Structure 1
Amino acid sequence: MAIDDTIEEKARTTQANLNYLLPGPDINRRFVSAGVEVNTGTYGPYPTTIRDGRTITSHFSFDRHGFQLLDAPTNITDFRGKSEVEDKYQAEVCEHVKKAFGADVVYSQGWMLRTSGNIPKKKTEDGSDGKPYRHYGGLQPAAGEVHIDTEPSRQLAYAKKLYDKARPGGPGFKRFIMSSFWRTFSPPPQDCPLAVCDARSVRNDEGTPNVLWVVDKIPEGDAMFAPMDDDKQLAAAIFRHNPDHRWWYFSGMERDEALLFKFHDSDSSVGWRVPHSAFWDESFPETKKVRESIECRTISFFE
């Protein structure tokens, strides 16, 4: 059956600034600590048209666009209750992802809460609680720059490591997909939703590595560029502005919906990665509400 892409041109649009990487230092690092995320790179706002896919949700596919909005009912009553999320939600997500992709095995890589509102200060003056910070299961601000949480050259080795952990003695895998399962649990319309970029509009040669460093305290000044073992760390991909990028979001997301999108698909013959960014949506100025969301990262294996 032929796919009619002309319906995309009839979608409602909104205008917003998306932050892309600007010319700057050769060393790109992302330092994260409790409630804080700082990049060494400089980002600048580019006016961008973002299309609303709400009325054509069935049009989108993982192979073509790299993302889909799913009906994803949840039994979680309190997403801020860490034990409930830890004990139940990750397994719930894995089942949704397994069904959506048709994978054989899905393994959770952890979760994170994000908010567009204020983040409460911790007990101590420096914002910590006296324990080493883990970038997992906490509350962070909305990620406001165009990025993908994985950098392509490092993913196969990482996938093999995770497969051995998830399936010790397993038969091996032919394909893997790293993805994010993103759900808002605050009422709509949210003031700072997530925009995703059509995978077909992203060139394979785009993206600059941005090395992730999880720290107890964010370094300052020259210390941000000090020698570090960047090659041994996980990295994201960050993007410079490309006017060909085609952006989408789904307005008014409810808590029983989830946006599932690819970070990295080892099958590059299909839509294999999706840049994304939060943005301030001015479509509903009188009724918009603080966005609270939970993201769960998974890796899916096809044996």
Structure 2
Amino acid sequence: MTTAAPLPTPAHQLHGAAPTVASSKSEDVNFQGLPIPRGPVTASLSFYKAPEDGSKPYNYVEKQPEGVPQRNFGESWQEVTIDDLRGQENKFSLDSNAFHTVQNVPSEEYDFTDDAKIRAVYYPEVEKLLLANIPGANRVLLFDYTIRRSNPGADRAPVVRVHIDQTPASAESRVRFHVPDEAEQLLRGRYRIINVWRPLNGPVMAHPLAVADSATVRDEDLIGVEHRYPNRTGETAAVQYNPGQKWYYWSGMKNEDRLLLKCFDSDETVGQWGRVPHTAFVDPRTPEGAIGRESIEVRALVFG
């Protein structure tokens, strides 16, 4: 889990920009009658800037010790063209690009306010979804989830910093931490870490999620960051800007849409395509008055 950075002011509030209306069709407006931004967009994304003193980068997940910065690395904001996945979903897959889209997924969980109910009702739905959509998968272990809301005072807000939730080292540690008695055997087979992301109040109008095609991301673009919990230290990956990276978002994501994000894959034949940088971003076309995005991401170890 990654601690959110402060959310930038939407561009329409800064510059008075008028929203772009793709068409007047009902699927292009939300329940408020506001236009859903569609198509390619150029937006600012926050990439990694190394600590000035050359030290190893770190980030505290919860409250940091007195007098210590929450993180010691900076941000490099870059203007990036982000293409729209809507209408070309079938061109991308987990093995080739490290993300995958699934549409029209029903759910019996609607509130997402009770932890026990989320685990009892939503978790089995996610497990079933993963087993049905990941070739070779024979076992799924859901190890945590995060709900993000844009309203002031929310426990977690959308993260506007390009990152990957896991690295090869932290993925192995996850297996050893969650299934210690079987770890040696499981680590000899294929294992993946996949996040299942969906909105809770779609269609998404503000702070959509951008993903990079993993095939366009170089290993040298990725920087391991110590992810410091109160009782242990994990590792995430920060991402340096590279103009060769290709970025996408899925416009107007609905509550029935699911975006699968692969953070790690032990299969070395698809190693370069085994990790997907992602970030929330401020879409400059977001219409004034649009409701803030709410979402849930469930993180899973997938074996087989």
Normalised to the residue count of structure 1, the TM-score between the two structures is 0.77
- Whether the aligned pair in 2 keeps the contact of 1:184 and 1:255 (CA below 8 Å) is yes
| 1:68 is aligned to 2:100 | yes
| 1:30 is aligned to 2:59 | yes
Q: Distance in 2 between matches of 1:45 and 1:95?
A: 38
The Cα offsets for residues 146-179 of structure 1, whole Å up to 9 and x where unpaired, read as 11011223423432443446x6997875201101
Q: Distance in 1 between matches of 2:238 and 2:151?
A: 24
1:286, distance to aligned residue in structure 2 (A): 4.3
- Whether the aligned pair in 2 keeps the contact of 1:164 and 1:170 (CA below 8 Å) is no
The Cα offsets for residues 2-33 of structure 1, whole Å up to 9 and x where unpaired, read as xxxxxxxxx93101111011132423111123
The Cα offsets for residues 57-96 of structure 1, whole Å up to 9 and x where unpaired, read as 1221111111011123211021123221122212211111
> Of 196, 202, 210, which aligns to 2:211?
196
1:287, distance to aligned residue in structure 2 (A): 6.1
Q: Distance in 2 between matches of 1:233 and 1:213?
A: 4
Match of 1:93 in 2: 126
Match of 2:161 in 1: 145
Match of 1:235 in 2: 235
- Whether the aligned pair in 1 keeps the contact of 2:221 and 2:241 (CA below 8 Å) is no
State the SS of the aligned residue for 1:242: coil
Where do 1:188-227 residues align within 5 Å?
Answer: 188-215=203-230
- Whether the aligned pair in 2 keeps the contact of 1:208 and 1:238 (CA below 8 Å) is yes
State the SS of the aligned residue for 2:120: helix
Q: Distance in 1 between matches of 2:183 and 2:203?
A: 42
State the SS of the aligned residue for 1:55: coil
Where do 1:1-303 residues align within 5 Å?
Answer: 12-24=39-51, 25=53, 26-33=55-62, 38-71=70-103, 72-102=105-135, 103-120=137-154, 139-164=155-180, 174-215=189-230, 233-270=233-270, 271-286=273-288, 288-302=290-304
Which runs of 5 or more residues in structure 2 are unaligned? 1-37, 64-68
- Whether the aligned pair in 2 keeps the contact of 1:115 and 1:141 (CA below 8 Å) is yes
Q: Distance in 2 between matches of 1:259 and 1:116?
A: 19
Q: Distance in 1 between matches of 2:50 and 2:295?
A: 31
Normalised to the residue count of structure 2, the TM-score between the two structures is 0.77
Which runs of 5 or more residues in structure 1 are unaligned? 1-10, 121-138, 216-228
- Whether the aligned pair in 2 keeps the contact of 1:13 and 1:50 (CA below 8 Å) is yes
Quickly say closer, same or farther: Cα 1:287–1:189, change in 2 above 3 A.
farther
- Whether the aligned pair in 2 keeps the contact of 1:173 and 1:301 (CA below 8 Å) is no
Match of 2:21 in 1: none
Q: Distance in 2 between matches of 1:12 and 1:254?
A: 16
Q: Distance in 1 between matches of 2:70 and 2:198?
A: 24
The Cα offsets for residues 243-286 of structure 1, whole Å up to 9 and x where unpaired, read as 11111110111111111010001113222110111101123424
> What is the aligned residue count?
256
1:44, distance to aligned residue in structure 2 (A): 2.2
Q: Distance in 2 between matches of 1:115 and 1:248?
A: 22
Percent identity, please: 27
Q: CA RMSD in A?
A: 2.4
* Stretch of structure 1 that moved more, 246-255 or 197-206: 197-206
1:143, distance to aligned residue in structure 2 (A): 1.2
Quickly say closer, same or farther: Cα 1:160–1:192, change in 2 above 3 A.
same
- Whether the aligned pair in 2 keeps the contact of 1:19 and 1:145 (CA below 8 Å) is yes
Match of 1:218 in 2: none
Q: Distance in 2 between matches of 1:28 and 1:81?
A: 35
